[in-house]
Amino acid sequence: MPDLTAVKTALRAQRIELPSWAFGNTGTRFKVFAQPGVPRTPQEKIDDAAQVHKFTGVAPAVAVHIPWDTVDDYAALSGHAAAGGVAIGTVNANVFQDDDYKLGSVCNPDPRVRRKAVAHLLECVDIMDATGSRDLKLWFADGTNYPGQDDIRSRQDRLAGALAEVYQRLGPAQRMLLEYKLFEPSFYTTDVPDWGTSLLHCMTLGPRAEVVVDTGHHAPGTNIEFIVALLLRAGRLGGFDFNSRFYADDDLMVGAADPFQLFRILHEVAAADALRPEAGIAFMLDQCHNIEPKIPAQIRSVMNVQEATAKALLIDTRALAAAQQAGDVLAANAALMDAYNTDVRPLLAGLREDMGLDPDPIAAYQRSGYAGKIVADRVGGTPASWGS
């Protein structure tokens, strides 16, 4: 049986990064639903993220999205985060909302637009320098809607050239994380549609270019843990964007749609001894809280990841390996199912108490009065919203 002390040590060391944009007003393609008390500034987003870390103890970093989180002084923003007990994490670039990017950004046939896009990516590296951030995360909406619209190979050449220029600008301790997405908003071809395309570009760039797996960016039925296992084997899994999907890229709370899938993914990570922060994998949430309150939704999401991780760590790996070696299909599957069916909530509640935290983070947050305070205090100004 697994050593519970080792399991608790691993869970205590776990780090889950929060997305600044998840604290603002968000919605569907048809409507953004406003909530009272949402942040109006990047600083207020960080304040809300600090509450999630305060009650969970494992979410000490906040990813920012540029230009949604643009400020005049990024060193001061980093200082604001530190004062709240958190840090600026991944810097996310945005080359998909400007009108110039209608036909793509770094893959656009117009060299002027490509230069504009690359300049923004380089600006994001400057922001990394100012905030002490390690990771630059890139997602491109680039692609085409119709056959013949553009030359597929030429677009890959343009992409490769842009990535190479930005990669050369990175500092020695910085990384480039390249995300992929099957479709949307481009419906005929997407320039980075899958993990293989992302990996090919990363392998060409060098060892500090790695792949990001967004758990919502796959076709129905895709075996995501297989992708994770291969990227781990290649040493090229840079991070996750955790969320859930029922149909397409739904951006629902992680573990909400298919908690067993999340468990299987984290089993592969644990089996590769890659849960440790030193392994370098960024475990980030990337979600769109349309109807649920923002801060409790982030707390619940962190707890979902913790629960899936705890179950993955409780797998009897010796029994599993013996069953696999013996070709005992049912026993091997049972080793996973026994761990998955374990109620780990008491284990995690005890761990939180050991860490000086309330065993029930959501109840503790509700009692804190913070929700009422921000509704009362954040009057006037422009609430942060999806896309701003």
CA dihedral (145, 151, 154, 158) positive or negative: negative
Tell me the pLDDT band of 334, cut-offs 50, 70 and 90.
very high
User: Is the pTM for the entire model greater than 0.75?
Assistant: yes
Count of domains observed in the chain: 1
In a domain, 382, yes or no: no
Dump pLDDT digits (tens) for 166-224.
999 999 999 999 999 999 999 999 999 999 999 999 999 999 999 999 999 999 999 99
Q: What is the pLDDT of residue 121?
A: 98
Dump pLDDT digits (tens) for 298-320.
999 999 999 999 999 999 999 99
In a domain, 130, yes or no: yes
Percent of the chain beyond pLDDT 90?
95
What φ, ψ does residue 120 adopt, rounded to 5°?
Answer: -65, -40
CATH number, domain at 247? Answer: 3.20.20.150
In a domain, 387, yes or no: no
Percent of the chain beyond pLDDT 70?
99
In a domain, 129, yes or no: yes
In a domain, 386, yes or no: no
pLDDT at 13 over 90: yes
Nearest to 59 by CA among 290, 300, 293: 300
Q: What is the pLDDT of residue 319?
A: 98
In a domain, 385, yes or no: no
Q: What is the pLDDT of residue 29?
A: 77
- Compare 99 and 384 and report the one with higher pLDDT: 99
Tell me the pLDDT band of 387, cut-offs 50, 70 and 90.
low
Q: What is the pLDDT of residue 2?
A: 84
Q: Which two tokens stand for residue 194?
A: 């899958």
Query: Which whole number is the average pLDDT over 143-148?
Result: 98
pLDDT at 388 over 70: no
Cα 259 from Cα 82, distance rounded (Å): 33
Burial of 379 (0-12, 13-18, 19+ CB in 10 A): exposed
Query: Which whole number is the average pLDDT over 40-61?
Result: 98
Task: Note down the domain range covering 118.
Answer: 4-377
Question: What's the whole-number average pLDDT of the chain?
Answer: 96
Q: What is the pLDDT of residue 295?
A: 98
Q: What is the pLDDT of residue 316?
A: 98
Q: What is the pLDDT of residue 27?
A: 84
Cα 35 from Cα 302, distance rounded (Å): 21
In a domain, 169, yes or no: yes
Longest dimension (CA), the chain: 66
Cα 106 from Cα 95, distance rounded (Å): 8
In a domain, 384, yes or no: no
Dump pLDDT digits (tens) for 251-263.
999 999 999 999 9
